[in-house]
Structure 1
Amino acid sequence: MLQVSFIRENREKVIEGLKTRKFYKIYLIDRILSLDKEKRKIQFQYNEYLAAYNNLSKEIGKLFTNGKGTQSLRSQSLKLKSEIHELNKKLSQKSKLLKEALLKIPNIPYKLVKSKFVSEKNEILYNCHSSHLLNKKKLTHCELANKFHLIDWKLGANISKSGFPVYIGQGARLQRALVQYFLDKNIRAGYIEYALPYIVNESSVQGTGQLPDKEEQMYYITRDFLYLIPTGEIPLINCFRDKILPENKLPIKATTYTPCFRREAGSYGANVRGLNRLHQFDKVEIVQISTPETSSEILEEMVKYVQGLLMNLNLPFRLLRLCGRDIGFTSAITYDFEIYSSIQKRWLEVSSISNCTDFQTNRLNIRYKNNGGKILFCHALNGSALALPRILAVLLEENQDEKEILIPNVLVSYTGFEKITLPF
């Protein structure tokens, strides 16, 4: 959430940033400034009346001690108390309206983020696109999963509905191997692992910015007023909510594995078949909490780190810097990694790495004390390292042979087998 003081002091910069990301509810900015002005005016009156009431109370106390009459002053005191009560109600109402308006405003993009780049497309920074299929016969990952009995789509649909696949045998072991491989790499890179709840409260999703922006995409448990997490980022960053961290402990590096649940309303068609888009999928997430001065450098470090994971898996990939229209609600700048499916002839996103600056930390009240003793908001960064379904899809497609699918060398010690073979 943007700070009101920042909007007040940088109105034109904020409006320009919102236009960069194709956010056209610019009228909200002036509404916020108007509400802020009204709130500050009420706050000033409230403070004045409260000070007068406190002074009057002291005066009444002195007169009472000296045995003198206080009736006139008591009448003034009661009147002030009533006015203070009314002002407090007005202050609460203005604060609520101001917060509601602020929650609708996305983060302001960095200058590096383009408003229009080659007809509003994202900027390709690196392309490692090379297919290495072992034979001419090309099956999709759906066909391969059926042929080698790796995934049962119908069973998942019977248990839940479409978009909830069941992994079986070597498919389940490969899925687990990917999770463990990513976690082990993250831990070796200095990330502390967290095992977290998969169901969170409203404060948690509002704090990370999914509410109100992504409300329609989340599964909601109405009886308990809880949400199934759409990403491990939510419970992971909330681990640091309302904390003041010492500067010498930053950056904090954290990782988690979670299933992710997304309603993905309107996600139909040929492009979302199989593992391309699911209602439930596994993902390993990395998060860093840093000082504002170091967050840009840390973002570059995280991008290079995820690039290394993809290179180790020997998958064709490219790196994009997203334009303003495509960056997430909480992000100031985002880099996407996409892997190429030569069979589907399309790029599939497998990781987004974002610097959210102090947008989430302001909502979650995550601060640090600098060496001078000043309390400031941290910066929060997050990234997928990595999301599994599309990794698994392209891994199967790019390593297939007629009778087997080879396992990347880095995963063999985790799977316990070098190749996936026909079940009979």
Structure 2
Amino acid sequence: MKNFTLILVLFLASIQLTFSQTETCDCKTDLDFIVEKIKAMPSFKTQIKGEKATQFENTYTNLSNQMKQPILIEDCYKMLLQQMVLVNDVHASLSYTKTPINKEDLKDTLKLNDFKASNAFKNHPKTEYNLNDLKAELSKKNDEELEGIYNYGDDLKIGIYQQKESETLVGVVLKSNLKQWDAGQIIVYATHTVGLKYNLFYYNPSTRTPGFVKNISFENGRLWIYKKVSNTNNEELPIKDQSNWEFRQLTPDIQYLYFGNFSSFSKSNRKAFIDFYAKAKKELSATNVIVDLRSNAGGNSKLSDPFLKLLKKKNVYILTNCFTGSNGEQFTLKLKALKNAKHLGQTTRGIIAYGMNYGYNYNTPSGNFNITPTDMNFNKYIAYEGKGVTPEFALDFDKDWLEQTLAIIKNTPK
């Protein structure tokens, strides 16, 4: 973990771009504020000891020495992230509160033109490469290489390439159907952490707001919201147009449960859980049950764990993808502990060992940033934090996952 953390710190330091804005802030005051919040987190208390504690304090001192004068806001954000990533806690986050251009302004030609005439737009980081040459080079990359050409829906075409003499990969806009982006502008930076995982410093495609997302898998030509143009396979994603709670009879001896999320914040979702649990308790009769947790980002164990008793004596086939996270991952591990359970699909997100009970978040003194610290400790899952839960059976990305699962069930000895 020490090496991964060092790479992240170097990555964030390497992309400080002191020309991207003109407005400054008192970054040291914000640093002291977030350090106070970080030190109260269970993840800090369980992890940051010995050499890690020394590294944390040295980073704080080094950053403080760079903050004796006002710091450009975006540069301050990147410096604060250097302190944040020293704790292996994917739930904990720091967001950027200022929006360069909002969605309403995009509809106003005068405001859009003013934005494009601003220093923030003109001085936004750009690639040093000729775009035609870059396209030609990246088009040679295969689907297994992270470098290549990607789509962001129908709005943007992005080229991702390895920065010279750096651990950082850079994503540059090659073609834009969005008025707030020009070809040549950089939209994302990626750094490898472990296995298939990457951390991304990005600019929101709509508002251009800087952001940071941790623990994103690169697999099947997909890197978060970006998908390789040469790869149209999306079988790892959930079945379209399903509700959060789905019960289906697939064959006389195979039933299917889909859990979209276990959130208890929504009154309607809590009621849906009650109704769904009653239905499952009454109708769950098949020997084999597929439990589909694809893209389940988690929630409250009170909405997941009651199903363990119903599934205890079943042959359970668990489906996960790279967006299965938090309590979705914890539930995956609890299901895997059942006697007759098999885990299929794709390695999960790796955002599992900590969480937010009350969901408190705090604006920093400058008002430029917002920190969401964690207050829940599931440290028994620390081995999966930042890495994810890997299935025993990886499924192909170019074939329907339910059909593959049905074939595995059919070929499983009775």
TM-score by length of 1: 0.28
TM-score by length of 2: 0.28
Report the structure number with the largest CA radius of gyration: 1
Structure of greater relative contact order (alpha carbons < 8 Å, 6+ residues apart): 1
